[in-house]
């Protein structure tokens, strides 16, 4: 499928999506493409069969919305257990935490995921269905009240992670700072030579090396107990928060992993670096978060380090991508990244001297 035209890919994926929906008991449905990258997402608008059997057009309030995900064709073997584990956690969150997150829908065979294949596509695709999370994003219109609510939501997520006990063959990635600044990253000369298009120069390499040294010094003794470390969302950018009738929820749990809670906070607050109201928004977020979940000692200092690591982590993702549009973002993000990392080191040195 990789070599076919975009329109041809979408046609084939739509056929796969229609085949996948036959394995769910949701009635008649209409598909709308949401996004097509490694995974492909369709919005599914379903109507009860009784409405159609009556021979009348469906009423809008009778519709039910879902998101159908067709996973990357590379998701095979053990990777399927990784996806299944994401769905197991979402099921537990929906059942136990009473927070707004996507709810997995079981197939007719009571499975969390299913596989489909069509005649013209050699490789089968793993598919899953999630209930649509109502509400809207407010990424460009966030206020201190919004950030406070986001902090409350994240703290509720981390409280659940603190007590979450996975069962069966539960497989999600385990984060370690060496995955950000080790082999196969921007600090690896072979990776920089092969993947980074000559963009990683001496200044960048020195900054990455210094961050790696600070990470080793500060994180080597940071416990991986449930007070500090657990299953997190790992991609809680403002666009992944959903606001609905006074509640805040989240979508897109594809990157969930075992990690420090501070990494989740770094992802959210890192989006406001350089914002005119950064200090006010940051304070509001912590007000909400700490009303639910206590932060560890020296959290502020550690958070700055996690924000620096997140910046480099995202650089690695950009350089690894095979998507041309993603690669086009690299020069501007690299300029931002180097400035942010330099600022982190300067403020860290200043705090040490004082």
In a domain, 136, yes or no: no
Note whether 178 and 317 are same-domain residues.
yes
Note whether 31 and 112 are same-domain residues.
yes
Note whether 148 and 56 are same-domain residues.
no
In a domain, 170, yes or no: yes
In a domain, 156, yes or no: yes
Last residue of a domain, one of 131, 163, 187: 131
Q: Range of 268's domain?
A: 144-353
Q: In the beta sheet, which residues pair with residue 90?
A: none
Measured on CA atoms in the order 94, 167, 164, 147, is the torsion positive or negative? negative
In a domain, 117, yes or no: yes
Q: Look up the pTM and report it.
A: 0.90
In a domain, 261, yes or no: yes
The pLDDT tens digits for 234-246 are 999 999 999 999 9
The long-range contacts involving 25-31, CB below 8 angstroms and separated by at least 24 positions, are 25/108, 26/64, 26/66, 26/105, 26/129, 27/51, 27/52, 28/52, 31/68
Last residue of a domain, one of 131, 156, 186: 131
Note whether 233 and 175 are same-domain residues.
yes
The predicted structure's pLDDT at residue 1: 52
* pLDDT category of residue 52 using cuts at 50, 70 and 90: very low
The pLDDT tens digits for 213-264 are 999 999 988 999 999 999 999 999 999 999 999 999 999 999 999 999 999 9
- pLDDT exceeds cutoff 90 at 324: no
The predicted structure's pLDDT at residue 61: 47
How many domains is the chain partitioned into structurally? 2
Q: Which residues of 240-274 are buried (b: 16+ CB within 10 A; e: fewer)?
A: bbbbeeeebbbbbbebbbbbbbbbbbbbbbbbbee
In a domain, 293, yes or no: yes
The pLDDT tens digits for 103-140 are 999 999 999 999 998 777 667 889 999 999 999 998 76
In a domain, 138, yes or no: no
């Amino acid at each position: 499928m990789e070599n076919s035209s975009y329109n041809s890919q979408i046609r084939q994926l739509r056929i796969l999506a229609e085949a996948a929906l036959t394995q769910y008991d949701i009635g008649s449905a209409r598909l709308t493409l949401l996004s097509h990258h490694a995974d492909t997402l369709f919005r599914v608008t379903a109507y009860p069969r009784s409405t159609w059997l009556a021979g009348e057009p469906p009423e809008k309030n009778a519709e039910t919305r879902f998101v159908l995900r067709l996973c990357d064709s590379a998701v095979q073997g053990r990777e399927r257990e990784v996806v299944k584990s994401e769905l197991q956690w979402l099921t537990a969150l929906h059942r136990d935490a009473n927070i707004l997150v996507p709810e997995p829908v079981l197939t007719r065979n009571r499975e969390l995921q299913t596989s489909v294949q069509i005649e013209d596509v050699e490789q089968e695709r793993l598919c899953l269905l999630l209930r649509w999370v109502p509400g809207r994003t407010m990424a460009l219109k966030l206020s201190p009240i919004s950030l406070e609510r986001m902090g409350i939501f994240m703290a509720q997520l981390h409280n659940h992670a603190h007590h979450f006990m996975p069962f069966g063959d539960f497989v999600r990635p385990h984060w370690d700072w060496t995955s950000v600044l080790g082999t196969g990253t921007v600090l690896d000369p072979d990776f920089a030579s092969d993947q980074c298009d000559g963009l990683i120069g001496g200044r960048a390499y020195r900054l990455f090396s210094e961050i790696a040294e600070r990470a080793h010094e500060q994180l080597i003794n940071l416990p991986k107990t449930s007070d500090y470390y657990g299953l997190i969302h790992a991609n809680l950018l403002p666009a992944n928060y959903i606001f609905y009738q006074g509640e805040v929820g989240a979508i897109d749990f594809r990157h969930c992993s075992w990690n420090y809670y501070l990494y989740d906070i770094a992802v959210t607050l890192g989006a406001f670096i350089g914002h005119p109201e950064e200090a006010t928004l940051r304070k509001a977020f912590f007000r909400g978060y700490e009303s639910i979940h206590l932060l560890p000692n020296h959290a502020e200092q550690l958070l700055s380090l996690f924000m620096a690591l997140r910046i480099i982590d995202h650089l690695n993702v950009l350089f690894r991508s095979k998507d041309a549009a993603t690669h086009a973002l690299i020069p501007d993000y690299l300029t931002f990244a180097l400035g942010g990392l330099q600022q982190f080191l300067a403020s860290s040195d200043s705090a040490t001297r004082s």
